[in-house]
Structure 1
């Protein structure tokens, strides 16, 4: 699908997020403590380097414009999911969770991240693109 130039970089970044989501789910399902721990570390690193900056760009640009246009539900859902993903990534970096808890958290992170990317591509970016086309 053709994206507005202002959304293209953000949309491209979603590919890496989907790969991370899949890896998180696979590690969680593996039952291998080393895989789970390694992926938890990878989530922390990738979150700080890629996902959180991506969220900040969305929050300071797209979401502000959508809020002004009255797209409150889209904005609220996006912010809620960003907050939950931040909390999960933070939990990996600050706590020594039990193996089963860490695996469950990885599974939740992977599921939520994949769902969030699909939501952004199918709904949030479509609304933003309509707004940009009207401007």
Structure 2
């Protein structure tokens, strides 16, 4: 039986994993907002802010610097790009807000698990030191600043 230990994340990819942590917190905040019967408009204001101030840039960085490590047409990249497109559409949707927030919470959580467990593991396996350095340089600091206008999840 093969021993499957978790792959230690390359230092250069760790800032992206930190971004994923913040996105998982977003999922928790959506669930918490619903459990506290917070008005969906308040939750939507926060998710809009989060997308514009964190997630959109994260997607761009992955698409330009991480996914390009793998060969064109790679199935993992295709799935990730489809997820990015679906999530972007959901974040921008203005109708059926509660339903779309529920979909964001579910899809984003699954997407992050996929990237961390499969896509990043594959990238880390084949990336050259130069490619890893480029990824690290593109995401040099963890500059996430929390939204403090309405902390509905507290």
What does residue 42 of structure 2 align with?
38
For residues 61 and 12 of structure 2, what CA distance do their matches in structure 1 show?
11
Paired residues in the alignment total 124
Following superposition of structure 1 onto structure 2, how do residues 83-98 of structure 1 map, counting pairs within 5 Å? Answer: 83-91=85-93, 95=94, 97=95
- Aligned match of 1:132 in 116, 127, 134? 127
> How far is the alpha carbon of 1:26 from its aligned partner?
3.4
Unaligned runs of 5+ in 1: none
For residues 89 and 125 of structure 1, what CA distance do their matches in structure 2 show?
24
Following superposition of structure 1 onto structure 2, how do residues 1-135 of structure 1 map, counting pairs within 5 Å? Answer: 2-28=8-34, 30-32=36-38, 34=39, 36-68=40-72, 72-91=74-93, 95=94, 97=95, 101-132=96-127
Q: 1:3 to 1:133 in 2, by over 3 A?
A: farther
Deviation per CA, 1:22-65, whole angstroms, max 9, x where unpaired?
22233345554x2x111111111110110011111100011111
The two structures have a TM-score, normalised by structure 2, of 0.73
For residues 77 and 25 of structure 2, what CA distance do their matches in structure 1 show?
25
The two structures have a TM-score, normalised by structure 1, of 0.82
The answer to whether the Cα contact below 8 Å between 1:14 and 1:117 also exists between their aligned partners in 2 is yes
Deviation per CA, 1:78-132, whole angstroms, max 9, x where unpaired?
00000011111111xxx3x3xxx21111100000111111001100110011012
In angstroms, what is the RMSD of aligned CA positions? 2.0
Q: Secondary structure of the residue that 1:3 maps to in structure 2?
A: coil
Unaligned runs of 5+ in 2: 1-6, 131-154
Deviation per CA, 1:1-25, whole angstroms, max 9, x where unpaired?
5211221100111111001012223
